[in-house]
Amino acid sequence: MDIIIANLPRFFGATLVTLQITAIAVFIGFCIAIPLSVIRIAGPKFLSWPVYLFTFYFRGTPLLVQIFLIYYGSGQFMEQLHALGLWGLFQSPWFCAVLALTLNTAAYSTEIFRGGIQGVPAGEIEAARACGMSGALLYRRVVIPRALRIAWPSYTNEVIFLLQASSLVSIITVMDITGVAGEIATRSFAFYEVYLFAAAIYILIVYGVLWVFHRIEKRINAFLHVGSA
């Protein structure tokens, strides 16, 4: 127990690292996933096929392989990356971790939002068309806002999964909660105390994030519950 109390500041810093990596990946992944899901639904074949392959690959392989491919695999292309001036980025485990998590969540979110777009009631799209909207305006004003509301519960799950999956970055030496716990545990041999404490932090964060996302869901989907409450 003393070991945990002595290392509380380190755990606090590590919690911030976990939250930071997850938040960056969720944010960029979200921004990538929205246009990709529209391309999957409405884009021309030569665009929607690569997007399909992207989601298929990143959803069909373990995240650990993706992290290793980017972190270790980039070493095989060191000269090319040097020539492009990108090697500095790929040298940092932090960058590789964020890149892998971002691509992974982008792939999952694209499929989730695609399902959301397909779930938009046809009548609403017809109504928008009848009002004279089409193309980008139709998507921006009607389809995407509605699709996000439909997809929100699934997207919540994806964010939770990503938060937990971010623990894998500790394998490539990023000092997140799992990384710090591993280091303290191997130095002090207090394996179960430290890992149980790490597990407790994760549970707190997970249910905290769930609470926030449920609040958002209630708010954005308030119109669904009118009269039923």
Partner 1 sequence: MLPDIRGYTREDFWMRPASETNRQHHQTINTKDTQLLDLEGYGPLLLAGARLTVYVGVCAMMIAVLLGLIGMWCKFSRSVFVRFLADTYTTVIRGVPELVLILLVFYGVPTLIQDVSALIGRPVYVSLDPFTAGVATIGFIYGAFSTEVFRGAYLAVPKGQIEAAQACGMSRALTFRRIVLPQMMRFALPGLGNVWMVLIKATALISVIQLPELMRSADIASRNTRKPFTFFFAASLIYLAITIISNLVQQWAEKRAAKGIRRA
Positions that interact with partner 1 (CB under 8 A): 56-57, 60-66, 68-69, 71-77, 91, 164-168, 170-171, 178, 181-182, 185, 189-192, 195-196, 198-199, 202-203, 206-207
Residue 20 vs 164, nearer CB to partner 1: 164
**Shortest separation between residue 171's beta carbon and partner 1, angstroms:** 6
Residue with tokens 């960029």: 28
Residue 128 vs 205, nearer CB to partner 1: 205
Distance CA 154, CA 145 (A): 15
**Shortest separation between residue 90's beta carbon and partner 1, angstroms:** 9
**Shortest separation between residue 62's beta carbon and partner 1, angstroms:** 4
Q: How far is CA 107 from CA 18, 26, 30, 54, 188, in A?
A: 20, 11, 10, 7, 39
Residue 18 vs 38, nearer CB to partner 1: 18
Max CA separation in the chain (angstroms): 69
Residue 32 vs 165, nearer CB to partner 1: 165
* Cα radius of gyration (the chain): 21
Q: Left, alpha or beta for 9 (phi > 0: left; psi -120 to 50: alpha)?
A: alpha
Tokens (6 digits) for 47 = 């665009």
**Shortest separation between residue 27's beta carbon and partner 1, angstroms:** 20
